Structure 1
């Protein structure tokens, strides 16, 4: 899956680095592979090196720590998969190869924070013609609101997403695939 470059530019440019400051001097300690320059990650990704598992572990740990430490956050990435976040990290690193991996993932995570799930709730089924998916009620509300803002009838959410997918000419096995949801929920920010 390829993340649209425009979408990534919007994500990364919407976050100022100063908003990530943690001490009075505006810095914080980065650990593990997060200290690596992006160009190292780019090389590892291009060669599909085993060290990519360390980067994925770093990203998963970063997200888990965010979920634990950020007030009013249960799940930062309620529907996004790790591979999607890794692709965003790769694209961000390609834009700023001298940055650290930790710096780029901080910006990506900060961008997603506005849609974080605040409270653990039971997931709700969204039925399709031959399968079902489960989302937190907050995610369903975010999807419905984004569709309504673009003029879609949300009486049948699956059909509304299929129509959105067709109208935007987006490729995916399901109208709820990662790229389609990224376009819908983050394409205008």
Structure 2
């Protein structure tokens, strides 16, 4: 799902509207939500089903929100260091199903506040996790977190290195087997969601 850079840049200002800070609102704490954030949850769920242009636009809206949050949140390099836009859109949909009276922006804000504790606080180098002819690129710090979680489960020995080595692949394969996930050895979105 590709969103134009200009479109995403325009949407970065959306985060201002979603900020809980009084500085970003009027004296009564009110603020205007722009663009797709104004739609209701039911409308969003319909857009999700069709996965057409409106859905892509809403994905860009969320990416803009995240970009601005990365710039404005203290101790934040990346608010969502391993989560894909598609995974976040799915989480927003789940929140919308449980709270149909909410708007898209309220649900997006809720989801992003929920993942905030797992943010990447400083820059980390990318690492390619390669198994056979497939690869996933993650931050080295996320690989270390993954290794720490696997170690806590008794699936990995040694200290976390941030390198996606054979021992890590074997531990991920065992974790996937236990959780009845596709056994690829790759730290894909489903595996990371179960692990983190």
Q: Which residue of 2 aligns with 1:57?
A: 60
CA distance in 1, matches of 2:184, 2:30: 42
Per the alignment, do residues 154 and 36 of structure 1 end up closer, same or farther by CA in structure 2, a change over 3 Å counting? farther
- Counterpart of 1:84 in structure 2 is 87
Residues 53 and 162 (structure 1 numbering): CA distance in 2 closer, same or farther, change over 3 Å? same
Q: Which of residues 169, 181, 184 is equivalent to 2:195?
A: 184
SS at match of 1:51: helix
Q: CA deviation at 1:21?
A: 3.4
CA distance in 2, matches of 1:118, 1:22: 21
Distance in 1 separating the partners of 2:145 and 2:134: 21
Root-mean-square deviation (Å): 2.2
How many corresponding residue pairs?
Answer: 166
Deviations 1:26-82 (A, max 9, x none): 655432111211011112222334211221111111111111111111111222211
- Verify the 8 A CA contact 2:169 2:185 in the aligned structure 1: no
Larger radius of gyration: 2
Name which structure has the greater RCO, CA cutoff 8 Å, separation 6+.
1
SS class of match (1:134): strand
Q: How does the TM-score come out when normalised to structure 2?
A: 0.75
Structure 1 pair 184/27, CA: closer, same or farther in 2 (3 Å)?
Answer: farther
- Are residues 1:146 and 2:111 paired? no
Q: 1:36 to 1:172 in 2, by over 3 A?
A: farther
Deviation at 1:157, TM superposition (A): 0.9
Asked if the contact 2:129–2:187 (Cα under 8 Å) also holds between the matched residues in 1, the reply is: no
Q: 1:173 to 1:134 in 2, by over 3 A?
A: same
Name the counterpart of 1:21. 20
TM-score normalised to the size of structure 1?
Answer: 0.78
Tell me if the contact between 1:125 and 1:135 (Cα under 8 Å) persists in the aligned partners.
Answer: yes
Superposed displacement of residue 159, structure 1: 1.0
| Unaligned stretches of 5+ residues in structure 2 | 1-18, 159-166
Tell me: CA distance 1:78–1:172, structure 2 relative to 1, closer, same or farther (3 Å).
farther
The 1-side partners of 2:83 and 2:39 are apart by: 24
Alpha-carbon spacing, 1:174–1:157, altered in 2? closer, same or farther (3 Å): closer
Please give the alpha-carbon distance, in whole angstroms, between the structure 1 residues aligned to 2:140 and 2:31. Answer: 34
Question: Is 1:109 aligned to residue 108 of structure 2?
Answer: no
For residue 117 of structure 1, report the CA deviation from its aligned partner: 1.1
